[in-house]
Structure formats: structure tokens, C-alpha cells
Amino acid sequence: MNNSSRNLLPKFFQILSRRNLNTSPKKLSEDVGFFGNFFQRNVAPQEAAHSQKLSSTEKIILIQTHDVKPDCLDKYEQVHKNLVGHFDEKALNTTSLGHFGVFVGSQDQFIHVWKYEDGYKTADEVRKNLLQDDGFRKINKEMTSLLRKRNSQYLLPFSFWPEAKFREKNHIYELRSYNLKPGTLMEWSNYWARAVRMRDYKHSEAYLGMFSQVGLLHNVNHIWCYESLEERKEARENVWQLQQSSMRWSEIVASTVPLVTSMSSRIMTPLAHSPTK
């Protein structure tokens, strides 16, 4: 390569090419190690399942998402009310935690939250019973004819989150869903174990906090309860002024945002047959 050609190369590549020609095996190994450490993230092996570390109960949460045909909304609510009543009559080992309609977010969408007291054992029993239940099959057939799409997911409640307690009167609920980078759930939870005490400073806003087990994975869902959108606004603004365990809300946000690949927020209102209002 003549001098004029060499001058056309960026200075960085001139230096790099000279180093490659004169690098000893030991030095080359050090360079490779440097770049390897730069691009690779070492992850410590996990000694126990997340379900054992982050949840202290065998109970599981079922979230059902129903996208309803726009011209069938009223009929859908009545049919679903009949379905919940049928479950109550059968005395299945399940607890209804809330039935909601979305009014900000995905339109014509309904969210249903159930708790299985004995975890997957209950889930298996309920599924087997319903397969042989003519009454359920009839109601379910009528309901599915009103849907455009549906989805379900099993989750475990976080051990650091307050136990769900039914609210009275009229409230709005916010379902915040976070899709996390694989392998970051433990780190996320360590921050939120402190953050939930800051966000729930009135001891009335945190309704449910849970992480996915079956269905969409690497997914976390928080449900918050407010009296109004205005109260939600005030609560979210006030938390920036609070400090807990020498860590500010701004620090928690800065630490958790890099763990998230996507997130969504849906504002919901309870249906007439929802146990929480």
C-alpha cells in the first residue's frame, strides 16, 4: 500500500492495523478478553426458580382478556355475569378478584381476574370439571360468539405486594403491563419491593402485583386503584417527592426502565358484577 492510499484510511484503522501486525499472542489474548467483556454480559447461574423466590404462596392468578365485537358489548356483559353466577353455584375453589371494562387503551376489551386458591391443582380440577359441565358449555358457547379475540395467562402474586382487598363505591383501575428483558425479573423485583411502598403511600392504591408463569413470559402486571383520573395524576406526581430507604423514585425509575422492552397502560372500570368496585 503506497502512502497516498494509506492516507485515505481512517486514522483508527491505521492504528488498529499496525497493532494487529505487531501484537504478541499474550497481548492479542488480552485484547480479545477486553472486547469480550465489553460485549458479553455474564449472568450468574440461578439457584432457585423465580416462583420460589418472589412469591410466598401456592395461589395463582388467572387473567383473561376478551376483545368483544363492538355491537355486542351489552349482551356480553350480561352473558359474562351469567358465567360468574354459574361458577358461584358450582362452588369451584376459585375467587373472583375483578371484572373490568377498558375505557382508555384497547377499546371494546374486558379484563377478568381470578384467583385459584390451591394453585395449579385447582386449575386442573376446574378445567376437568368444566369439560363435563353442560351448563358451562352452553354459556361459554354463547359468550365466545360475541368475541373477536381472547387470551389467558397464569401469574403468581409478588410476596412483597399487599394482599388484594375489595374496594367499595366507584373506583377506576389501571392495569400496567411490563415486558422485561429475559433474566431481569429478579433485579426488577428488588427495586419494586421498595418502590411499591412509595407508590402506595396512601395504603389504598396497590391492588395486585404479579409476574407471569404460563402464557406471555417475562411479563409483569401491576393493578392500581384510584377514585378518579385526577387522583391518579396527583399520586403519580407526589411520588417523585418521596424518598424511601435512601432511594428516590427517580433513581428507581432510572434503574428499572433499562430492564423493560415494552409497556402499556389501560384504564378500566369495574363491571356491575365485579366484587371490587
Closest of 82, 74, 54, 47 to residue 193, by C-alpha: 54
**pLDDT at 238 > cutoff 50:** yes
Contact 179, 193 (CB under 8 A): no
Using pLDDT thresholds of 50, 70 and 90, give the confidence band for residue 93: confident
Q: What are phi and psi of 53, to 5 degrees?
A: -85, -35
d(CA 35, CA 225): 48
Q: How far is CA 125 from CA 65, 80, 91, 205, in A?
A: 22, 21, 12, 33
Q: What pLDDT is recorded for position 237?
A: 84
What domains lie within the chain, and their CATH numbers? 54-270 (3.30.70.100)
Using pLDDT thresholds of 50, 70 and 90, give the confidence band for residue 244: low
Q: For 159-175, what is the mean pLDDT? A: 93
Using pLDDT thresholds of 50, 70 and 90, give the confidence band for residue 252: confident
Q: What pLDDT is recorded for position 51?
A: 52
How many other CB atoms are found less than 10 A from the CB of residue 41? 7
**DSSP secondary structure letter of residue 48:** S
Using pLDDT thresholds of 50, 70 and 90, give the confidence band for residue 82: very high
The predicted model scores a pTM of 0.79
Contact 114, 93 (CB under 8 A): no
